[in-house]
C-alpha cells in the first residue's frame, strides 16, 4: 500500500508518540468492533483522522511544514485502511467450507 506524504508523515508522528499510538489503536479497535463493514469503518475514521491532523498541524512543526500552500483537505483513507489492517482486530473468519470427502472413499 502506498501512502501519500501527508499520510506517511502523520503515521510516522503517531508511531513515534506512544500516547498518540495508544489513542488511535484503541479508537481503531472500538470502531472495528462496532461495525462489520471495514469500508464504512475506514471512511468514518478517515474523517476523524482529518480533524485530528488539522488540530495537530497547528501544534506540531513536522505536520505544519506540510501546509506550505495552506491547509487543503487531503484524503487519509489509505492510512486508515492500513491502520485497520495492521492495528485493528483480526478479521472475522468467513464461514468455512464443508470438509471434502477423500477421493478414495
23: helix, coil or strand? Answer: helix
Instruction: Calculate the CA 68 to chain-centre distance.
Output: 25
Cell of 83: 491502520
pLDDT one-digit tens code per residue, 15-44: 999 999 999 999 988 888 887 788 888 999
pTM equals 0.77
The residue written with cell numbers 511544514 in the block is 65
pLDDT score of 11 more than 60 = yes
pLDDT score of 50 more than 60 = yes
pLDDT score of 92 more than 70 = no
Percent of the chain with pLDDT over 70: 84
58, 87 Cβ separation under 8 angstroms? no
CB proximity list for 21: less than 8 A, separation 6 or greater: 14, 15
Alpha-carbon span 15 to 25, nearest angstrom: 10
Report the range out of 22-26, 32-36, 62-66, 83-87 with the highest average pLDDT: 22-26
Amino acid at each position: 500500500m502506498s501512502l501519500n506524504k501527508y499520510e506517511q508523515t502523520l503515521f510516522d508522528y503517531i508511531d513515534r508518540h506512544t500516547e498518540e499510538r495508544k489513542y488511535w489503536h484503541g479508537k481503531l479497535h472500538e470502531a472495528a468492533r462496532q461495525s462489520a463493514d471495514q469500508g464504512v469503518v475506514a471512511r468514518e475514521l478517515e474523517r476523524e483522522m482529518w480533524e485530528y491532523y488539522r488540530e495537530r498541524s497547528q501544534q506540531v512543526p513536522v505536520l505544519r511544514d506540510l501546509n506550505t500552500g495552506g491547509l487543503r483537505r487531503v484524503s487519509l483513507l489509505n492510512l486508515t485502511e492500513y491502520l485497520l489492517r495492521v492495528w485493528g482486530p483480526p478479521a472475522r473468519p468467513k464461514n468455512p467450507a464443508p470438509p471434502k470427502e477423500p477421493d478414495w472413499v
